[in-house]
């Protein structure tokens, strides 16, 4: 269990990636805002995005919808791990504590 104490962040990242694997099971119903927009008749005001990268959480070029969703989820999860850690590394307090070189 020592590795999990030391590398707990890896366990956390794996847990997040595992959640992404579950994404095809997500409820397909409209969310709260979409529901209100449909009921109150302003859903048509929504504009199409000017560009699409991984629109609708479907990885482009993948036929199988569940696989495309999972790939989109894994991609986003890894990007956010990198972005969150990167921001933290960039902004962390320095100077008054020993820093771990990595």
Partner 1 sequence: MHIPDGFINTGTSVVTWVASAGGLSYAVRRVNQELGERQVPLMGVSAAFIFAAQMLNFTVVGGTSGHLLGGALAAILLGPWAGMLVMTSVLAVQALLFQDGGLLALGPNVFNMAVIGVIVGWLTYEGLRRLLGDRAWGQVAAGFAAGWLSVVVASLVAAIELALSGTSPFGVVLPAMGAVHALIGIGEGLITVAVLLFLRAARPDLLELRQVSSQA
The three-class DSSP label of residue 38 is helix
Q: Which is nearer to partner 1, 67 or 87 (CB)?
A: 87
Instruction: Tell me the C-alpha distance between 17 and 77, whole Å.
Output: 6
* Under 8 Å between Cβ of 38 and 88: no
Q: How far is the CB of 40 from partner 1 (least distance, A)?
A: 5
Q: Both tokens of residue 56?
A: 């609708």
- Check residue 32 for interaction with partner 1 (CB under 8 A): yes
Residues that bind partner 1 (CB under 8 A): 8-9, 12-13, 15-17, 19-20, 22-23, 25-33, 35-37, 39-40, 42, 45-47, 49-50, 52-57, 69, 72-73, 76-89, 91-93, 96-100
């Amino acid at each position: 269990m020592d590795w999990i104490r030391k590398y707990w962040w890896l366990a956390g990242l794996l847990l997040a990636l595992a959640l992404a694997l579950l994404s095809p099971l997500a409820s397909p119903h409209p969310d709260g805002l979409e529901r209100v927009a449909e009921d109150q008749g302003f859903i048509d005001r929504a504009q199409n995005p000017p560009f699409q990268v991984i629109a609708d959480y479907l990885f482009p070029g993948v036929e199988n919808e569940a696989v495309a969703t999972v790939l989109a989820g894994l991609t986003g999860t890894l990007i956010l791990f990198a972005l969150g850690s990167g921001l933290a590394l960039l902004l962390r307090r320095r100077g008054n504590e020993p820093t771990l070189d990595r």
